Amino acid sequence: MMWISAFADCLLYAAFAYVAGFVVLQFVPDSKKPVVHTSRLFLLLCVTGIALFSAAPIVELAAFLNDGEGWLTTFLTVLLDYRTGQGWVITVLLCILLWLTFYFEGPRLTQASFALLLAVTVGFYSHVSTVSLWAGSISHFVHFTAMSLWAGILLHIAWASKDNGNWSRFLGWFTPFAISCMAVLLASGIVLMLFFVEAADYVDSWVLPYGQMLLLKHLSIFPLLVAALINGILSRDRPFDMRWLRVEAVLLFFVFLFTAIMSKEAPPHDVSATLRAVGTAPIVELLKGEQYMPLNASLTFSVNGILLLGLSILFIGMMLLSFYRQATPWLSLVFGTAFIVTAYVGLLLVVSF
pLDDT, tens only, 31-44: 999 888 888 999 99
Is 189 contained in some domain? no
Is 188 contained in some domain? no
Helix axes 108-124, 83-103, angle to 10 degrees: 170
Averaged pLDDT, 119-148: 91
In whole angstroms, give the CA distance from residue 41 to residue 38.
9
Average pLDDT, the chain: 90
Tell whether the model's pLDDT for residue 292 goes beyond 70.
Answer: no
pLDDT at position 261 = 92
Is 191 contained in some domain? no
pLDDT at position 291 = 67
How many percent of the chain have pLDDT more than 90?
A: 57
Is 31 contained in some domain? yes
Which of 113, 143, 165 is at the close of a domain? 165
pLDDT at position 1 = 66
Is 42 contained in some domain? yes
203 and 317: one domain? yes
Q: Which residues of 219-234 are buried (b: 16+ CB within 10 A; e: fewer)?
A: bbbbbbebbbbbbbee
Residue that wins the pLDDT comparison between 22 and 285: 22
264 and 121: one domain? no
The pLDDT-based confidence of 288 (bands split at 50, 70, 90) is confident
- Whether pTM exceeds 0.85: yes
Which of 145, 165, 185 is at the close of a domain? 165
Per residue, the 3-state secondary structure of 300-348, as one string, reads: CCCHHHHHHHHHHHHHHHHHHHHHHCCCCHHHHHHHHHHHHHHHHHHHH
pLDDT, tens only, 197-247: 888 889 989 999 999 999 999 999 999 999 999 988 888 777 777 888 899
Is 176 contained in some domain? no
Q: Which residue range is the domain that position 232 belongs to?
A: 197-353
Number of domains in the chain: 2
Which of 122, 146, 165 is at the close of a domain? 165
The pLDDT-based confidence of 149 (bands split at 50, 70, 90) is very high
Residue that wins the pLDDT comparison between 214 and 294: 214
160 and 22: one domain? yes
231 and 341: one domain? yes
18 and 142: one domain? yes
202 and 160: one domain? no
207 and 155: one domain? no
158 and 12: one domain? yes
pLDDT at position 293 = 67
Is 170 contained in some domain? no
Residue that wins the pLDDT comparison between 25 and 270: 25
Span of 104-113, 140-149, 202-211 with lowest mean pLDDT: 202-211
150 and 28: one domain? yes
Is 192 contained in some domain? no
Q: Return the number of other C-beta atoms located less than 10 Å from residue 181's C-beta.
A: 21
pLDDT, tens only, 50-87: 999 999 888 888 888 877 677 788 888 888 889 989 99
